[in-house]
Structure formats: structure tokens, C-alpha cells
Structure 1
Amino acid sequence: MNAAWTAGGVRAGGLLNRRLGTAATNDIARCASLADAVSLLVATPYGFAVRRGQTLVAAEHALSATVLWHLRVLAGWLPRHGAHLMRLLAGWFEIANLLDHLRTLCGADPQPRYVLGSLATAWPRLAETSSTAQLRAVLAASPWGDPGTTEPWGIATAVHLSWAARVASASPYARAWAVGGAALLTARARFVVGRSVPEPARRWQVLLLGARQAQAHTLAAFGRRLPAEARWALCGVEDPDELWRAEEQWWTRLDRDASATRRRPGFGPAHAVSCAALLAVDARRCRAALELAARGGSPQEALDALA
């Protein structure tokens, strides 16, 4: 392990030690109001972006913005390969910016955007587009690839699959997460929304999930036709109304895998990816706690779900 990975390991440890964890998250969830919960968050590392008086939507955006800032900090301490991995994982934030830009192109009011800095892939160019046709052209000329359509839903589906394919290719450690996520996305699109992935974006779907799943007409059959590395994401879920359970399974595995890697000695690419995953898990728990507080505080069973 060279000096850059060693320095990155020290920085990653510092970031992970600043997570709220279950106890502090439960304290937030017990708050009787959103204002009280936000006031608690201001005094934590999430105070980087969380401010008193924010709405629920603004506070949740601030939680995610803090995670992105931590990824930017970590990337600055890692060698080139590690920084590349952080840029790939930060694709979630670029997708969020892209989807808001799409909504703006369709007439919606713009919302706050994430500041990607050096972790941007194509966002500065995407932000300058003024039509969905221009947006597609910029995507096609970037690592995101051609979504195969100018229709917003199709673009959103395509960029998510593109992101999963690039993460799976770049990080053997994160491959199972990426492939499992692609399975959930495809299942929701096909069996809830009732739509198929547009060409040429379908190539990413086949690359990640194989060709056999395309002939499945039920969610149960779809799960059986998935490759073994993706099948876990839908284990025990055969009804589209239960896909929320599959999403919880995905986050549970992410947390479990990343926690196990953190305990391994040394620091390298897998540790850096696990750091990013654990930061995302903590922010998601805080988001859920905020939503509970906004409803007047949580019952014990809801707190148990945050553990």
C-alpha cells in the first residue's frame, strides 16, 4: 500500500467516525417536529449543509450534499485509481442533477443542484443544454452513452443502467451491488410501470442481467431468470407490491458488505468503495429519521427499522 492509499485510509477513517450511527439517528427520529430534528442535525457533521428552518426536502438534499462533499474530500486524498472510483460512485449525484434538469426542460421550477467539482463526468456540459435533443447528444458523446431516446423516462432509466454497468466494470467489489440495483430497476420498470428499456440502452441491461430475463412475464419468473450474481436482490420477492422489501434487502447487503470490508486490515480500492457505501447508508438512515420526525416522532418499531 503506497503513501497515497495510506493517507486515504486515514481520511476515510475520520469520515466514518463522524457518522451519526443508530443511537443518534434514533434521537432525531424521536423529535416531535422537523424543526427540532433539523436543529439536532445542525450540530453534527451534517451541519455542513443542513440549516435551521429548512423544509424536509431541503434538509434531505443537504444530507446528500454532505455525503458528496465527503466523497470529494476523500477523492483528494486517494491515488488516481481511487479518485476514479469516487467519481464513478458520485454518478448518483450527477444523475440527480440530470433528472432535475430534465424536469426543468419540461417546465418545472429548478431545484438546488449538487456541486460535483472534480467528480463530475459530464454535468457541466449537460447543464448547458436547452432541449432534450441536446441533452441526448451530450450524453451520447460522454461516458454515459446514448440513452436511445429523448423521452424523460427513457433517459432516466438509461443513465441509471449506464451507471450500474460502469460501476460493475470498474469495481469487482461493488459489482454485486450494481448488478442487484439493475435488477431492481428493471423489475420496477417492467412490472410496476409497465415499460421496457429503450434501445440502445438495453445493451447495458443485457450486459448486467443477461438475455434470459427479457422473456419473463412475471416478477417471479424474472427473478429465476436472473444470473446468480443478481438473483439475491429479489430473493423472496415475487409480487410487484413487495419490491420495497427488495430495496431494503439491497441496502442491508450494502451495509453488511461494506462493514465487513472496513474491518479488514489495510486500505485499498475495496475499502474506499466501502467508505462511500457506509456514508450513504448513514445519510439514508438520517433521511428516514427526518421523515419520522416530520410526522411527529416515531414509534419504537419504526426506530427498530433504522437499526
Structure 2
Amino acid sequence: MGAAWVAGSVRAHALLDRRLGTETTRRLACLPSVEAVVRELATSPYRREARGCRTPAQLETAIGATLLWHLRVLAGWQPGVGVRLLRALAGWFEIVNTVDHARRLAGEALPGDTGGPYRLGALATAWSRLAATRSLPDLRAVLAASVWGDPGAGDPATIAAAMAISGAARVAEQVPEAVDWAAGAAALQVARQRFLAGREPTTPVRHRAGELLGRGAVSAPDLAGFTAGLRPAARWALAGVAGPEQLAQAETDWWRRVERDAAGLLARSGFGRAVVVGCVVALAADARRARAAVQLAALGGGPLEAFDAAF
């Protein structure tokens, strides 16, 4: 165990104190407005980014930006392999940036001023090149030449789906502790696209998804066949799912499994990558709860039954 892993693990444990916690986020969910949440966050770890937010979209972005900043801080304490691990786990932020950029290029309306894009720093893979593109064909070409791969088409929805699968494949490859999480997330993504949205994957996406999930699953004509064809590392995420309408609950169950596994990683003695991975999940789960609280507060607060059911 190198000194850098020891230092990185110590920093990871310290960052766990930067969470709001379940009870605080439940209290935020009961507040009557976004303004009230911003005031409440003024003494929290989210205060720097949340200051001045006026809309739910701005505040949700601010919460995400705080999470990203913590990951960037954590990366500064890791050896090279730890930085690569964090870059893979932080891929969601580059996906959000790229899809928002694609939507602007397509002339689509975004939900108000979100305050983006996210500032990725050393956790970026291709964002600076992607951000410089000025048309959807150029964006697709830069994606194809990057670690994200060719999405197979240049529209924003296809880019979003393709990057999600590519990101999951990269996590599965570079973060051994997260193989089942990544495969399960990819299975849910493909299932939502095919059996809820009615969108078939492009050829490049089908190929990448097949490598991660199993060729038989990707080519199956219905949800039952898709689930049966999944590799064991991915099949757990659709356990008990009888129809597309149950996929939302399956995503909630995915988060519960991932949080439970991450708690187990953090409970291990010693130092190393498991602690870092567990810390990332714990911070991400806290941000997810905080963002959900913002959504409820924007509607006037509560009911907590709906909030609790999602977590």
C-alpha cells in the first residue's frame, strides 16, 4: 500500500463529513420554497455553490457542482490509478455537459439557466474538445474519436444513451468494486430506452452494450427475454421486474443496493481504493437526496412519504 493511497483514503474518510445526512435532507424536503432551501444550505457543505440560486434547476446544478468539487479534491490526494478511477466514476458530469451542449446545438430549449456547465478539471476526459464543437455532426465526430466512442447518430437523445452505456462500460473496466453496479445501471438504461421509450440502440451502442450485458439480452425482442439474456452481473438490477412500468422502482432498488455495498466498502479496515469508491458513492447518494429535497420544496414541501419511498 503506497503512501498516496493512505493519504487518499484518509481524505476520503474526512470528506464523508461533508454530507447533509438523511434527516437533514428530509427536513429540507418539507420546506416551502427553493429560497428556504438556499437559506438552510447557507451553513452546509453545499453553501458555496448554492449561494444566489433562484430556481430549482440552478440549485440542483449547484448541489451537483458541490459533489464534483469534492471528487476533484479527492482526486488531488490519489495516486495515478486513483485519479483514473475517479475520472471514470465522475463520467456522469461530462455526460450532462455534453448532452446539454448537444441540445443547444439542436436548438432545443433547456429548463432555464442551470448555471452549467460543470467544471471538471482533471476529471474531464474529452470535455474541452466536445465543448468547442459548433454543430451536431462535429460533436459526433469528436465523440467518435474519444473514449466515449461513436454514438451512431448525432441527435441529443442518442448521444445521451450512447454515453451512458460507454460510461458504464468504462466503470466496469476500471473500477472492479463497481462492476455489478455498472452492469446493472447499463441494463436499466437499455431497458428504459427499448421498452419504455421505444428507441432501439444504434449499431455502435448495441455492440458496446452487448459486450457488457450479453449479446442475447441486447437482441431479445421483449423485456422478459432481455432480462433472461443478461449476464449475472447485470441481471440483479431487473430482478422482479415484470413490466416496463416497474423500471422506475428498479432504479430506486439499484441505488439501495449500491449504497449498501458502498457502506460495506467503507466498513473495511485499512486503506486503499475500496475506501475511495465507497466515499464517492456516499457523497453521490447524499447529493441525490438533496436534489430530490429541492424538487419537493419547489412544489411547496413534502409529502415525506414520497421522499422516503425513493430512498
> TM-score by structure 1 length?
0.96
Say if 2:106 and 2:155, in contact at 8 Å, map to a contact too.
no
Residues 1:145 and 2:167 aligned together: no
Partner amino acid for 2:18? R
What is the alpha-carbon distance in structure 1 between the residues aligned to residue 202 and residue 5 of structure 2? 40
Q: How does 1:148-187 map to 2 (within 5 A)?
A: 148-187=152-191
RMSD across aligned positions (CA): 1.5
Q: Which residue of 2 aligns with 1:7?
A: 7
What is the alpha-carbon distance in structure 1 between the residues aligned to residue 281 and residue 10 of structure 2? 17
CA deviations on 1:190-216 (whole Å, 9 max, x unpaired) are 101111111122221101111111342
Q: 1:163 to 1:61 in 2, by over 3 A?
A: same
Q: Which residue of 2 aligns with 1:67?
A: 67
Say if 1:35 and 1:52, in contact at 8 Å, map to a contact too.
no
Partner amino acid for 1:60? E
Partner amino acid for 1:124? S
CA deviations on 1:203-239 (whole Å, 9 max, x unpaired) are 2110111111134232223212211111111111111
> TM-score by structure 2 length?
0.95
How much has 1:14 moved relative to structure 2?
1.3
What is the alpha-carbon distance in structure 2 between the residues aligned to residue 109 and residue 214 of structure 1? 32
Q: Which residue of 2 aligns with 1:104?
A: 104
Q: How does 1:1-307 map to 2 (within 5 A)?
A: 1-108=1-108, 111=114, 112-305=116-309
Say if 1:4 and 1:77, in contact at 8 Å, map to a contact too.
yes
Q: 1:80 to 1:226 in 2, by over 3 A?
A: same
Q: 1:47 to 1:169 in 2, by over 3 A?
A: same
How much has 1:30 moved relative to structure 2?
1.7
What is the alpha-carbon distance in structure 2 between the residues aligned to residue 67 and residue 262 of structure 1? 18
Say if 1:258 and 1:278, in contact at 8 Å, map to a contact too.
yes
What is the alpha-carbon distance in structure 1 between the residues aligned to residue 176 and residue 168 of structure 2? 12
How much has 1:121 moved relative to structure 2?
0.3
Partner amino acid for 1:185? Q
How much has 1:135 moved relative to structure 2?
0.9
What is the alpha-carbon distance in structure 1 between the residues aligned to residue 35 and residue 222 of structure 2? 44
What is the alpha-carbon distance in structure 2 between the residues aligned to residue 264 and residue 194 of structure 1? 43
Question: What's the secondary structure of 1:200's corresponding residue?
Answer: helix
How much has 1:84 moved relative to structure 2?
0.8
Q: 1:217 to 1:306 in 2, by over 3 A?
A: closer
What is the alpha-carbon distance in structure 2 between the residues aligned to residue 33 and residue 140 of structure 1? 43
What is the alpha-carbon distance in structure 2 between the residues aligned to residue 162 and residue 59 of structure 1? 28
What is the alpha-carbon distance in structure 1 between the residues aligned to residue 304 and residue 142 of structure 2? 48
Q: 1:39 to 1:125 in 2, by over 3 A?
A: same
CA deviations on 1:280-306 (whole Å, 9 max, x unpaired) are 100001111111222222134235336
Question: What's the secondary structure of 2:46's corresponding residue?
Answer: helix
What is the alpha-carbon distance in structure 2 between the residues aligned to residue 10 and residue 304 of structure 1? 31
What is the alpha-carbon distance in structure 2 between the residues aligned to residue 239 and residue 262 of structure 1? 35
CA deviations on 1:41-82 (whole Å, 9 max, x unpaired) are 121001121124521110000000000000000000011100
Question: What's the secondary structure of 1:173's corresponding residue?
Answer: helix
Question: What's the secondary structure of 1:77's corresponding residue?
Answer: coil
What is the alpha-carbon distance in structure 2 between the residues aligned to residue 157 and residue 299 of structure 1? 32
CA deviations on 1:245-299 (whole Å, 9 max, x unpaired) are 0110111111101011001011211221121111110000111111122222213
What is the alpha-carbon distance in structure 1 between the residues aligned to residue 160 and residue 307 of structure 2? 33
Partner amino acid for 1:24? T
Structure 1 residue ranges without an equivalent (≥5)? none
What is the alpha-carbon distance in structure 1 between the residues aligned to residue 218 and residue 9 of structure 2? 42
What is the alpha-carbon distance in structure 2 between the residues aligned to residue 179 and residue 273 of structure 1? 16
